[in-house]
Amino acid sequence: MSTTKKINLILGWSLFILSTVLYWSTMAPTVSLWDCGEFIACMAKMEVGHPPGAPFYLLLGRLFNLFAFSPEQIAYTANLVSVFASAATIMLLYFSAEHMLRRIFSQYTQTVGKYVLLAASCAIGAMAFAVSDTFWFSAVEAEVYALSIFFTALCFWLFLKWEEAHEQNHLSNRWLLLITFLMGLSVGVHLLNLLIIPVLVLLILLRQKPFSWVLLVKALLIGGGILALLLFGLIQNGLWLAQKIEILMVNSWGMPINSGLLLFVTLLFGGLFFVVFKTRHLNNWQHLLAAGVLVFMIGYSSYAMIIIRADANTPINLNNPSTVFSLDSFLNREQYAQNPLLYGHYYNTPTGELLTTDTYRKNGKNYELYEKTNKYAYDDKGCGVFPRMHSNNATHKYGYQQWAGADPNSTKKPSFITNLRFFFNYQINHMYIRYFMWNFSGRQNDEQSYGEIHKGNWITGIPFIDKNIEGSHQHSLSLSNPARNVYFMLPLLIGLIGIIFLINAGKNSKKYLAVTGLLLLMTGPVIVLYLNQTPFEPRERDYAFVGSFYAFAIFIAFGAFALTHLIYKNTQSYLTAAMGLVLLTVGAPILMLSQNYADHDRSNRTFALEQARSYLNSCEPNAILFTYGDNDTYPLWYVQEVEGYRTDIRVINYGLMGADWCIQQLAQAVNLTDPIPLSISQQRYKTGELDYALLLEQSKEYAPLQSVVQFIGSNKETSKLPMQNGEKIDFSPVNRFLLPYDQNDTLKWHCPKRVLYKNDIAFFDILASNNWQRPIYFTIGANPDIFNGLEDHLRYDGLVYKLVPQRKAPNAPIFYNREHLLDTYLNKIKLGDGNTAYYDHYCRRTFDVIKYRQIGNLLAADLLEQQRPEEAKAVVLKSLKELPIGVAPDASGNLPLLHLLHECGLQSEAIEYTDLLLQRHLNNLLWYAALPRQKQRFAQSAFQQEMEKGQVLKMVLNTIKDPALDEQLKNVYNTLGIEL
């Protein structure tokens, strides 16, 4: 082995080791928010998560789980999958950049000194990506994106190895087969890896021809065609023939369920093996194609895990894809809204009839035919090419107005110019370029941005540039946020230098510029086109574009080499070139590391785990707990399925209960919980049978809930409401219900809804059938829409509401039992020490969602009224420990807490935190005043909120009576001309 190869291997593996140490040391020790809890639970017990599934990721995670010594360590080992995958990605980035530079500048391999300059430049690009914002975020938690980008990096590197092997011998096709197999595997992680196909096609076309735009277009057409064939042919419609065979064998021939699918798989793989062996002596393109399809399908076969485990009725079994028909729905992600791509409707296009398709579902030992509603038909006059503004959701309409100036109330189709304005302003600029600049220029803070001036923008650290983005005066959300990271555009500039350098750098430079540039294009802007995102996404989506950032990091390696090459060319000195490399480029990854470390270190963050335990601990034994979103569901799934914690409680996601498969699963026992009692038959709950019911008010009398549920669930003609078009639909003649509790109490309430959907009907069925046998709870962060008018009967019991027959007092702001809430708050809610870990925006927002501060304030104020200051002090101190004001200085309820600190005798703490919040308030007023008049218009809402905080702050100052603080407030208000 030559010296240069040894240096290459040593440097590449050194980067792997260093990256592993970095990610392992900053890795989350347990479950994190969002999908992590679901993924860890599913890999621990081989369960079925949300569509379209990630079976290979779960299988690999299960392998890592084998090294856990206890159930509590399973999340730790699951997170290690991302650690090692991410570290390997950094190594592959280095090897890929080194390969391309070595082939462009072969003269740099002639001496060790020259080669070290080349290799060090590649290492700089790899290190810059290693410590970049988005990639580091995914590297320390159990999510699919770290493994997905690893597959992209691996396939890209193998492309380059194939190119080299193709020039040397005729055995290069083995590299293509390996790449094809890995692509099949990667589908079992995430579909993003398939976007690299046009890059492979371009590299193949560039074997013998120089780069040209015609060749690039040809690669896009061929690669796009292959990609479309895989996505829309194989993955979304590949089970069409299997479904036909299944119906024939099961319904006509009386064979067991899935016999047709097994026959289809046997014929498919048997046919592929036959073709491969039949053409093996020819060794031509037919043989290569057959072998490629075979190995891709072998990799893709990880999806067998989905149907096998769904058939086992695992506790988490989303969509129940246990037959070929439900698996097809699972792969097509039919439970999610499908956004139009090239042609479709706009937000105000009139809807026509509801379109249905015929499909089958299991009914005993056979299949039954039923009509499945997919989507609405739209008036062609309201449709158009490339529709970006397509959602009729009221919130999204407001977003279209905000980003494109569209009229949310207009019935006229928006102009194509307006459509493009939204595309460029929101989808391209806000949802891609902003994320790109986060990684290579700087980030204002980690607050989620919906377009506000003071939240989540990209910055540079260069004042004269940043003042046009966020103003000349920093908002307090940036001043106190560890996620305010500035790189002075250094990584961006080095990458741009690399792009310019490759235009005319040598024989292969344009080829590698085109290949890397196409990788950036396919994993960035093309994803923007495909996702067609709506405004007000529930979280930032930068993780979807990490492949694009990977490609730009390769350009950073090229840029570092360009500067080194220029210095060496003019000085002919290794030492001078090395010093130039260090001075001009090494600072980029070092700066990024120093800026990003604080907000990417999750080594002490256990918030999601503690929150899940606190949810469950707030409930009585054998309870039913309704959740609503990801962050109040997935951590609960994890803590029950993996750690076996409080498995006596049945957790039900209210949104998922709108699907018949979820209601069917309610009738099954799970862990230590009994089946959920239901009075309406499962046949009636099937899709198409009882999808909704009208709620009328034919009487103001209260009707027994059991009778109403039986009426709605009945299939008799007398329980149907005839419509003018002759159709008969399910309904309830009353919207006031009663549910007796005992001789003294009866639950009576009015449901304000006009239409009950399947999950609402199932909820009322559970309520009536349970008949107070098991306590019923809702997570506090749940959407009030799922309470169905029961708000006045929901008692605060910690982090949950408990349904009780008693009604909240008419003038009471909140319904609670003082002694019960005190015991729960002090002894059952344990969210850790907020001073020992960095809480990002989503953690801080979750504290607000669960009303943590408000509950503590309410309880402390009540205890003070009851002359129980020591207990009130304990509540306040616990609130400050678990959610320190310094950690979340903008949290709701902070200002009333200052008053409570004073009342509890904690004067020094009251003054300290009052000073902190006062400085924030005054700073934010100065920030607003320093904005140009045009930007003040966009920040008007933030200013109004600040003025409201000022009113509360003045009341706190009147209580604390600190002359120095009063004087500060007075001086700033007078300066700004604001009346006290």
Contacts of 633 (CB under 8 A, 6+ apart): 37, 38, 627, 651, 653
Q: Give the SS3 label for residue 520.
A: helix
pLDDT confidence of residue 2: 85
- Between strands 383-385 and 343-345, the pairing is antiparallel
The CA-atom distances, in angstroms, between 411 and each of 348, 354, 388, 393, 844 are: 6, 20, 16, 14, 40
Residue 607 CA to residue 833 CA, distance in Å, equals: 9
DSSP per residue over 374-442, as a string? Answer: EEEEE-GGGEEES-------HHHHHHHHHHH---TT--SPPPHHHHHHHIIIIIIIIIIIHHHHHHHTE
The DSSP annotation for 894-951 comes to: HHHHHHHHHHTT-HHHHHHHHHHHHHHHHHHHHHHHHS-HHHHHHTHHHHHHHHHHHH
User: DSSP label at 670?
Assistant: B
In angstroms, the Cα distances linking 324 to 56, 260, 261, 303, 869 are 19, 9, 7, 12, 64
Q: How far is CA 570 from the centre of its chain?
A: 49
134: which 2 tokens?
Answer: 């988005």
Residue with tokens 């000349």: 472
pLDDT at site 170: 64
What percentage of residues in the chain have a pLDDT greater than 70? 99
Q: What is the mean pLDDT of the chain?
A: 91
Half-sphere exposure for 201 (CA within 13 Å, toward CB): 20
- Phi/psi at 344 (5° precision): 170, -165
Strand, helix or coil for residue 886: coil
Secondary structure of the chain: what % helix, strand, coil (to 5)?
60, 10, 30
Distance of alpha carbon 300 from alpha carbon 443, whole angstroms? 38
Alpha helices in 817-851 (DSSP H): 818-823, 841-849
Running DSSP on this structure, what letter comes out for residue 163?
H
Q: Are 88 and 150 in contact (CB under 8 A)?
A: yes
What's the token pair of residue 653? 């996601």
How far apart CA 714 and CA 721 sit, in angstroms, is 12
CB atoms within 10 A of CB 722: 10
Name the least confident of 282-291, 791-800, 877-886: 282-291
Q: How far apart are CA 742 and CA 720, in angstroms?
A: 33
CB 566 within 8 A of CB 105: no
Are 78 and 43 spatial neighbours (Cβ–Cβ below 8 Å)?
yes
pLDDT score for 153: 96
**Confidence band, pLDDT 50/70/90 cuts, at residue 283:** low
pLDDT band at 417 (very low <50, low <70, confident <90, very high): very high
Beta-strand ranges (E) seen in 515-637 are 624-627
Q: How far apart are the first and last CA of the chain?
A: 79
- CB 576, CB 484: distance < 8 Å: no
Least confident range of 57-71, 226-240, 652-666, 753-767: 226-240
| Element of type H or E holding 367 | strand 366-378
CA atoms of 122 and 554, how far apart (whole Å): 8
What are the residues whose beta carbons fall under 8 Å from the beta carbon of 229, sequence distance 6 or more? none
Distance of CA 839 to the CA centre of its chain: 17
Cα gap 276→273, rounded to integer Å: 5
d(CA 498, CA 556): 6
Element (H, E) at 749: strand 746-750
Rounded to an integer, the average pLDDT of 650-673 is 92
What's the angle, vertex CA 234, arms to CA 229 and CA 235, rounded to 5? 110
Residue 529 has pLDDT above 80, yes or no: yes
CB 29 within 8 Å of CB 168: no
What is the pairing mode between strands 728-732 and 692-695? Answer: parallel
Residue at token pair 């699972």: 330
Angle at the Cα of 12 from the Cα atoms of 9 and 16, rounded to 5 degrees: 130
Q: What is the pLDDT of residue 802?
A: 96
CA angle 824, 827, 831 (to 5 degrees): 95
Q: Are 484 and 444 in contact (CB under 8 A)?
A: yes
Confidence check: pLDDT of 726 > 80: no
Kindly list the distances between the CA atom of residue 587 and the CA atoms of 487, 593, 942, in Å, as whole numbers in the listed order. Answer: 10, 10, 37
Asked if residue 281 has pLDDT above 80, the reply is no
**CA 574 and chain centroid, separation:** 47
- Encode pLDDT of 563-600 as tens digits: 998 888 888 887 887 787 787 788 899 999 999 999 99
**What band does 45 get if pLDDT is binned at 50, 70 and 90?**
very high
Distance, in Å, from the CA atom of 5 to the CA atom of 9, rounded to the nearest integer, reads 6
Strands 776-779 and 800-803: antiparallel
Range with lowest mean pLDDT among 81-90, 277-286, 471-480, 786-795: 277-286
Q: 693 φ, ψ to 5°?
A: -145, 140
52: cis peptide before it, omega within 30°?
A: yes
List, for residues 902-935, the tens digit of each pLDDT value.
Answer: 999 899 999 999 999 999 999 999 999 999 988 8
How buried is 479 (Cβ within 10 angstroms: 0-12 exposed, 13-18 middle, 19+ buried)? middle
Question: Which of 744, 748, 696 has its CA nearest to residue 720?
Answer: 696
Q: Report d(CA 791, CA 964) in Å as an integer.
A: 44
Q: Identify whether the C-beta of residue 837 lies closer than 8 Å to the C-beta of residue 604.
A: yes
CA distance 955 to 825: 27
User: Please, which residues bridge with residue 802 across strands?
Assistant: 777, 795
Burial class (CB in 10 A: 0-12, 13-18, 19+), 794: buried
For residues 80-90, b (16+ Cβ closer than 10 Å) or e, as one string? bbbbbbbbbbb
- Residues 607/883, Cβ–Cβ less than 8 Å: no
pLDDT-derived band at 382 (thresholds 50, 70, 90) equals confident
On whether the CB atoms of residues 780 and 800 are closer than 8 A, the answer is yes
Residue with tokens 């396919």: 522
CA distance 48 to 400: 36
Which range is least confidently modeled, 131-145, 206-220, 275-289, 539-553? 275-289
- Amino acid present at 537: E
Write out the two tokens for 581.
């490399």
Pairing relationship of beta strands 351-363 and 366-378 according to DSSP bridges: antiparallel
User: In this prediction, what percent of the chain has a pLDDT beyond 90?
Assistant: 68
Mean pLDDT over 219-235 rounds to 89
Under 8 Å between Cβ of 842 and 823: no
On whether the CB atoms of residues 841 and 446 are closer than 8 A, the answer is yes
CA distance 614 to 883: 15
Residue pLDDT, tens place only, 438-475: 999 999 999 999 999 999 999 999 999 999 999 889 99
User: Is pLDDT at 259 greater than 70 in this prediction?
Assistant: yes
Residue range 388-404, pLDDT digits in tens: 999 988 899 999 999 99
**Alpha helices (H) in 169-212, listed in sequence order:** 173-187, 197-205
The rounded distance, in Å, linking the Cα atoms of 172 and 184 is 19
Contact 523, 117 (CB under 8 A): no
pLDDT of residue 416: 92
Query: Residue 1 above 70 pLDDT?
Result: no
